[in-house]
A and B are shown apart, each in its own frame.
Chain A
Amino acid sequence: MDGIKTLADLKKKQEEVMSRMSLRDRAENPESLVQVKVAMATCGIASGAKEVMEYFIEELYKRKIDAVVTQTGCMGYCFAEPTVEISLPGREAIVFGYVDTRKADEIIERYIKEGELVDGIIPQNYNTI
Chain B
Amino acid sequence: MSRYKIHLLVCGGTGCHSSESNLVYEMLRDELERKGLEKDVQVIRTGCFGFCEKGPILKILPDNTFYTQVKPSDAKEIIDEHIIKGRRVYRLLYTDPETEEHVPDSKQMDFYKKQLRIALRNCGTIDPENIDESIARDAYQALGKALTEYTPSETIDLIKRSGLRGRGGAGFPTGLKWEIAAKNNADRKYVVCNADEGDPGAFMDRSILEGDPHSVLEAMAICGYCIGATKGLIYIRAEYPLAIKRLKIAIAQAQEYGLLGEHILGADFSFDVTLRYGAGAFVCGEETALIHSMEGKRGEPSNKPPFPAQSGYLGKPTNVNNVETLANIPAIILKGAEWFSSIGTERSKGTKVFALAGKINNVGLIEVPMGITLREIIYEIGGGVKNGKKFKAVQTGGPSGGCLTEKHLDTPIDYESLTAAGSMMGSGGMIVLDEDDCMVSVAKFYLGFIVDESCGKCAPCRIGNKRLHETLGKITAGKGTQDDIEKLRNLGSVIKDASLCGLGQTSPNPVLSTLDNFMEEYLEHVHDKKCRSGRCRDLLYYVISKEDCIGCMACKRVCPTHAISGEKKEAHVINQDVCIKCGACMEKCQFDAISLMNDYPRVSATAAQTITES
Contacts and interface: CB of A to CB of B under 8 A. Distances in A.
Contacts of B63: 27, 70
Contacts of A68: 62
B86 A10 contact: no
Interface in B247-270: 256-259, 265-266
Q: On chain B, which size bracket covers the interface?
A: 35 or more
B141 A14 contact: yes
B271 to A, nearest CB: 14
Given A7-B148, A17-B133, A42 B85 contact: yes
Interface in B116-138: 125-126, 132-133, 135-138
A6 B86 contact: no
A3 B264 CA distance: 10
Contact of A10 (B61, B62, B84, B135): B135
Contacts of A24: 7, 61-62, 125-126
A3 B257 contact: yes
A69 B3 CA distance: 12
A54 B7 CA distance: 15
Interface in B1-36: 3-7
A39 B86 CA distance: 7
Nearest to B254: A4
A80 B256 CA distance: 54
Contacts of A27: 61-64
B141 A40 contact: no
B62 A4 contact: no
A122 interface: no
Nearest to A41: B85
A10 B85 contact: no
B588 to A, nearest CB: 62
A58 interface: yes
Contacts of B256: 3
Nearest to A7: B144
B221 to A, nearest CB: 13
Contacts of A10: 135, 140-141, 144, 259, 265
A38 B62 CA distance: 13
Contacts of B62: 23-24, 26-27, 30, 68-70
Q: On chain A, which size bracket covers the interface?
A: 35 or more
A5 interface: yes
A121 B256 CA distance: 54
A6 B266 contact: yes
Contacts of A23: 3-5, 7, 61-62
A129 B553 CA distance: 77
A123 B147 CA distance: 58
B9 to A, nearest CB: 8
A7 B147 contact: yes
Interface in A26-44: 26-27, 30, 38-42
Given A3-B257, A7-B144, A69 B135 contact: no
A19 interface: yes
A42 B86 CA distance: 10
A45 B84 CA distance: 9
A61 B3 CA distance: 10
Contacts of B3: 19-20, 23, 57-58, 61
Nearest to A50: B40
A18 interface: yes
B4 A20 contact: yes
B86 A17 contact: no
Given A20-B4, A70-B63, A4 B85 contact: no
A45 B83 CA distance: 12
Nearest to A16: B132
Interface in A56-98: 57-58, 61, 68-74
Contacts of B4: 20, 23
Contacts of A73: 85-88
Given A7-B144, A14-B141, A73-B88, 13 more contacts: A9-B265, A10-B144, A14-B135, A20-B136, A21-B133, A30-B62, A38-B86, A40-B86, A41-B85, A57-B3, A68-B62, A71-B5, A72-B87
9 contacts: A6-B266, A11-B141, A16-B132, A20-B132, A20-B136, A21-B137, A27-B61, A41-B86, A45-B84
Please list the 6 inter-chain residue pairs (A to B) with the smallest Cβ-Cβ separation, ordered nearest first: A73-B87, A71-B86, A3-B258, A7-B144, A21-B136, A27-B62
Interface of B: 3-7, 42, 61-64, 84-88, 107, 125-126, 132-133, 135-138, 140-141, 144-145, 147-148, 256-259, 265-266
